[in-house]
Protein backbone atom coordinates (compact mmCIF):
# COMPACT_ATOMS: atom_id res chain seq x y z
CA UNK A 1 0.00 0.00 0.00
CA UNK A 2 1.04 3.56 -0.67
CA UNK A 3 0.01 6.74 1.10
CA UNK A 4 -1.68 9.47 -0.94
CA UNK A 5 -2.42 13.05 0.03
CA UNK A 6 -5.65 14.41 -1.44
CA UNK A 7 -5.62 18.22 -1.34
CA UNK A 8 -8.91 19.91 -2.20
CA UNK A 9 -9.78 23.59 -2.55
CA UNK A 10 -13.41 24.66 -2.26
CA UNK A 11 -15.27 26.30 -5.10
CA UNK A 12 -15.92 29.96 -4.17
CA UNK A 13 -18.86 29.99 -6.60
CA UNK A 14 -20.78 27.56 -4.33
CA UNK A 15 -20.19 28.86 -0.77
CA UNK A 16 -23.15 27.01 0.81
CA UNK A 17 -22.44 23.66 -0.84
CA UNK A 18 -20.03 22.48 1.90
CA UNK A 19 -22.66 22.69 4.66
CA UNK A 20 -25.36 21.27 2.42
CA UNK A 21 -23.38 18.15 1.46
CA UNK A 22 -21.41 17.68 4.69
CA UNK A 23 -23.60 14.86 6.13
CA UNK A 24 -23.25 12.76 2.93
CA UNK A 25 -19.51 13.50 2.81
CA UNK A 26 -19.13 12.22 6.40
CA UNK A 27 -21.16 9.10 5.61
CA UNK A 28 -18.96 8.43 2.60
CA UNK A 29 -15.76 8.75 4.63
CA UNK A 30 -17.16 6.55 7.42
CA UNK A 31 -17.87 3.76 4.93
CA UNK A 32 -14.66 4.17 2.93
CA UNK A 33 -13.39 0.97 1.30
CA UNK A 34 -9.80 2.01 1.99
CA UNK A 35 -7.92 3.26 5.03
CA UNK A 36 -8.17 6.95 5.84
CA UNK A 37 -5.14 7.90 7.94
CA UNK A 38 -6.45 11.38 8.66
CA UNK A 39 -8.90 13.82 7.11
CA UNK A 40 -10.21 17.26 7.87
CA UNK A 41 -11.02 20.72 6.60
CA UNK A 42 -8.55 23.39 5.59
CA UNK A 43 -9.30 26.86 6.92
CA UNK A 44 -8.43 30.42 6.07
CA UNK A 45 -5.53 32.06 7.94
CA UNK A 46 -7.84 33.20 10.74
CA UNK A 47 -9.08 29.64 11.21
CA UNK A 48 -12.67 30.84 10.86
CA UNK A 49 -13.80 29.69 7.42
CA UNK A 50 -13.43 26.27 5.85
CA UNK A 51 -11.83 26.58 2.43
CA UNK A 52 -11.00 23.02 1.47
CA UNK A 53 -10.11 19.53 2.62
CA UNK A 54 -7.02 17.42 3.20
CA UNK A 55 -7.18 13.63 3.29
CA UNK A 56 -4.32 11.21 3.80
CA UNK A 57 -5.25 7.72 2.64
CA UNK A 58 -3.71 4.33 1.93
CA UNK A 59 -4.45 2.94 -1.53
CA UNK A 60 -3.12 0.39 -4.00
CA UNK A 61 -2.53 3.03 -6.70
CA UNK A 62 -3.05 6.65 -7.62
CA UNK A 63 -5.89 5.44 -9.84
CA UNK A 64 -7.65 3.97 -6.79
CA UNK A 65 -7.00 7.19 -4.82
CA UNK A 66 -8.43 9.29 -7.66
CA UNK A 67 -11.50 7.05 -7.92
CA UNK A 68 -12.03 7.37 -4.16
CA UNK A 69 -11.88 11.18 -4.35
CA UNK A 70 -14.20 11.31 -7.37
CA UNK A 71 -16.89 9.31 -5.52
CA UNK A 72 -16.95 11.75 -2.60
CA UNK A 73 -20.17 13.80 -2.42
CA UNK A 74 -18.03 16.96 -2.13
CA UNK A 75 -16.49 16.14 -5.52
CA UNK A 76 -19.74 15.05 -7.14
CA UNK A 77 -21.59 18.18 -5.96
CA UNK A 78 -18.75 20.55 -6.86
CA UNK A 79 -17.94 21.65 -3.34
CA UNK A 80 -14.31 21.29 -4.41
CA UNK A 81 -13.04 23.39 -7.28
CA UNK A 82 -9.60 21.75 -7.39
CA UNK A 83 -8.43 18.31 -6.31
CA UNK A 84 -4.75 17.33 -6.33
CA UNK A 85 -3.57 13.84 -5.48
CA UNK A 86 0.06 13.06 -4.70
CA UNK A 87 1.94 10.06 -3.37
CA UNK A 88 3.06 10.76 0.18
CA UNK A 89 6.07 9.34 1.99
CA UNK A 90 5.40 8.96 5.71
CA UNK A 91 8.76 9.71 7.29
CA UNK A 92 7.77 9.92 10.97
- For residue 77, the number of C-alpha atoms closer than 13 Å in the C-beta half-sphere is 16
Check residue 15 and give its pLDDT.
Answer: 85
Name the nearest CA neighbour of 8 among 88, 91, 81, 86: 81
Q: Which fold has domain 2-88?
A: Alpha-Beta Plaits (3.30.70)
pTM equals: 0.94
Check residue 12 and give its pLDDT.
Answer: 93
Check residue 72 and give its pLDDT.
Answer: 98
86 forms beta bridges with 5
pLDDT tens, the chain, 92 aa long? 899 999 999 999 998 999 999 999 999 999 999 999 999 999 999 999 999 999 999 999 999 999 999 999 999 999 999 999 999 998 98
Contact present, 57 and 36 (Cβ < 8 Å):
yes
Amino acid sequence: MTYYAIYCVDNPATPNARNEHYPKHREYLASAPLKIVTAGPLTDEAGENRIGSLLLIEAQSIKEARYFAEQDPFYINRVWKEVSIHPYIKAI
